Structure 1
Amino acid sequence: MNVSKLMVVGAGQMGSGIAQVAAQAGLKVLLHDTQREFAERGLGTISKNLARSVEKQKISADDKELILSRISLSTDLADAKEVDFVIEAVTENMAIKTEIFRQLDEICPPHAVLASNTSSLPITEIAAVTRRPEKVIGMHFMNPVPVMKLVEVIRGLQTADEVYLLVEALAKQMGKVPVSVNDFPGFVSNRVLMPMINEAIYCVYEGVASPEAIDEVMKLGMNHPMGPLTLADFIGLDTCLYIMEVLYEGFGDSKYRPCPLLRKYVKAGWLGKKSGRGFYVYE
C-alpha cells in the first residue's frame, strides 16, 4: 500500500512537527484539531520553522510554499474518510486516545493504518478498541520532531508484519530512523529517561543539590546536551508525572514511584516552560 494522504490528529507541538516532516516528504497532510484556532496555530508553527530553514538557506522560499501547500486544516474527524494513514498525537491519556481510535476505526477506509504517537501507553490496549487491531501501531516521534531523527516503532500484539514494514518505510521517507521496540510501558526511551529525571527530582527533594548544580553535573560529567531538570521543564512536568505513573502502574515496582516533589509542582500548576514556571522560571 502506498501512503499518499495522511492525517495528523492533534496540532500541538508534536502533531505540527509530524505534519511538517510528512509534508516535507511529499505527502498530502490533513492537520486536525478540535478547534480551528488550534489547527491554525499548529500551521503557524510549521510556517515559522520553515521560514527559519529558508533563512539558514537549507530550503528555498519556493520549497517553503510547496511544503505548506501540501497541508490542509481540519476540525472534523470525518475528514479521515479519505486518508491512507492516521497519526494520533493528542494528550497522553488512554481514555482520550481510545475514544479517538474508536471514531477513526468507524470513519477511515478499511485499508487505512492507525498509528499512535504515544510516549508510554500500550499499543495493544489502544488497538483493542478497533476492529482492525492488525492495522494499529505505535510511532513515537521525539521532540522537536523536525530535528530529532528517532522514531520508536511499537507493534501491538496483533500488528501485521506488512503494517510494520509500511511504517518503517514511511518513517524513512520522513527522514527518520525507525527503531523496533516491543510493547512494554514507556517503551525504551521513556523507560530509561523518565526514571533518570525522577531521580534528579529526588535529588532536589532531598536537598542533595540545586537544580542548576544537578543539571551542570549531568551536562559536564555525562556529556548530556541538556540537564534532566531543564529537559523535564521542556517536556512538561505533567507529562513526566503521567509517564512515571504509567511505569509505576505497569510494572508495580517501587523504583518507578513518582517523586512527591514532582506531584507537588504539578498540583501547583508549575508545569515547566509551557506554564512559565517549573524547576526554573521562564519569562
Structure 2
Amino acid sequence: MTANPRSDTIAVFGAGVMGCGITALALGRGVDVVLVDVSDEVLRAAEAEIAQQLRHGRFMGAFPGSRATGTLTTTLSGEAAADATAVIEAITEDSSLKARMLAEVSGVVAPGTTLITNTSGIPIDELAKSVRRPAELAGVHFMNPAYLIEMVEVIRGPRTAEDTVAAVFSLLGRLGKKAVVVHDAPGFVTSRLLHPMINEAARIVAEGTASVESVDRLMQGCLGHPTGPLRTADLIGLDNLADALRLLAERTGNPAFAPCDLLREKVRHGDLGRKTGRGFYDYEGVLS
C-alpha cells in the first residue's frame, strides 16, 4: 500500500464531541483537516468549539508552540475527502450508521487511503464488511478530550493489513500520540474495563451506598483514578456510554454490561453530561 500523494490533509467525518476533539488535535499539530457533517448548523457550532479547544490546548501546552496551526475546511460533501491521505470516521457509536458511512467513504477515496474508525467498542471486522478494501481499515479509540490525552488504543481487525497499521502509527506520531495495538473484540480493552466500572459506580449511587462525589473521591484517593468514574462518564456523554454498554452486553452475551436504571433515566431526561450542562454533576454556569 502506498500513501496517497495528492494531499497532506486528513478528513474527519462527524462534527460531534469526538470529531471536534480529533480535529482540534490535528489542527494544533499543524495538520490540515476537512471536517464533514450533514448539518450547516452543526458545523458552525463545531468551528466555535474547535477554536475553544485550540485555545485550551495551547494554554495546557498540548501543541508545539513553533508549529503553525493547520487549516480547517468544513463541508457537507463527503466528496471533499477524495484527496485526503487518511480518513477518520467519528460519528455516533451506532454500528449501522458507521457501516453506512464507511461504505460511502470507501467509495470516494483512492486505493491506499487509510480508513480509521473512531469507535469505543464496535468490532472492526464487523465494520470492515461494509468497505471496499477491508485491509485498509483499522480502529483507533481516541479518548476525550482527544487533544489532551496522550495514549490511544489501536485496534487491528483480522483483515487489517500490516501497512495500514504502519500508516496509522505514522499519522498518530504526527499527532503526538502514543499507541498500543490490541486485537479485535467487543469493547477492546479500555471500554471493556472502564464502561462496566462506570456502570457499577452508578448502581452504587442508585442504591444509596454513597453519593456521586464520594464514589469519585474514593476512586481518586484510593485507586488513583484521575477524575473519578462518574465525572469521566459526564465527559464521555451519558448517551454515548449507555449505547456502548448496550453494544457490549449484546456482543458479549453478558447482561451485566447493560446500562443500569440510573444511567438510562438520566439519558431519558436529557442529562447527558458536560455537553448538556448536567449529568452526574451540574455544569450550569461552568461551561463557556
For residues 73-112 of structure 1, what are the structure 2 equivalents within 5 Å?
A: 73-112=74-113
Distance in 1, Cα, partners of 2:239 & 2:78: 27
Give the aligned partner of residue 248 of structure 1: 249
Distance in 2, Cα, partners of 1:60 & 1:234: 25
Distance in 2, Cα, partners of 1:177 & 1:165: 13
Deviations 1:236-263 (A, max 9, x none): 1111111111111111123323212222
Moved more, 40-49 or 212-221: 40-49
Structure with the largest fraction of helix: 1
2:37 counterpart of 1:33: yes
Distance in 2, Cα, partners of 1:269 & 1:12: 16
Give the aligned partner of residue 200 of structure 1: 201
Distance in 2, Cα, partners of 1:126 & 1:146: 26
Aligned amino acid, residue 217 of structure 2: E
Aligned amino acid, residue 12 of structure 1: G
Distance in 1, Cα, partners of 2:126 & 2:278: 34
TM-fit CA distance, 1:53: 5.1
Native 8 Å contact 2:29 2:63 kept in 1:
no
For residues 50-61 of structure 1, what are the structure 2 equivalents within 5 Å?
A: 50-52=54-56
Distance in 2, Cα, partners of 1:137 & 1:212: 38
| Equivalenced residues, count | 280
TM-score relative to the length of structure 1: 0.91
Gaps of 5+ in 1: none
Native 8 Å contact 2:246 2:259 kept in 1:
yes
Give the aligned partner of residue 5 of structure 1: 9
TM-fit CA distance, 1:137: 0.7
Give the aligned partner of residue 72 of structure 1: 73
**Distance change in 2, residues 1:239/1:59 (3 Å):** closer
Native 8 Å contact 2:3 2:113 kept in 1:
no
- 1:17 alignment partner, one of 21, 26, 34: 21
Deviations 1:23-72 (A, max 9, x none): 33343321111123322322322322333455678779985xx414x221
Moved more, 178-187 or 246-255: 246-255
Measured on the aligned residues, the alpha-carbon RMSD in Å equals 2.1
Distance in 2, Cα, partners of 1:38 & 1:23: 19
What SS does the aligned partner of 2:111 have?
coil
TM-fit CA distance, 1:86: 0.4
Give me the identity figure in percent: 39
**Distance change in 2, residues 1:124/1:267 (3 Å):** same
Distance in 2, Cα, partners of 1:84 & 1:125: 23
Distance in 2, Cα, partners of 1:12 & 1:120: 18
Deviations 1:154-203 (A, max 9, x none): 11121111101110121111100011011111111110101110110110
Distance in 2, Cα, partners of 1:57 & 1:198: 33
Moved more, 83-92 or 204-213: 204-213
Gaps of 5+ in 2: none
Aligned amino acid, residue 177 of structure 1: K
TM-score relative to the length of structure 2: 0.90
Give the aligned partner of residue 151 of structure 1: 152
Moved more, 22-31 or 93-102: 22-31
**Distance change in 2, residues 1:227/1:108 (3 Å):** same
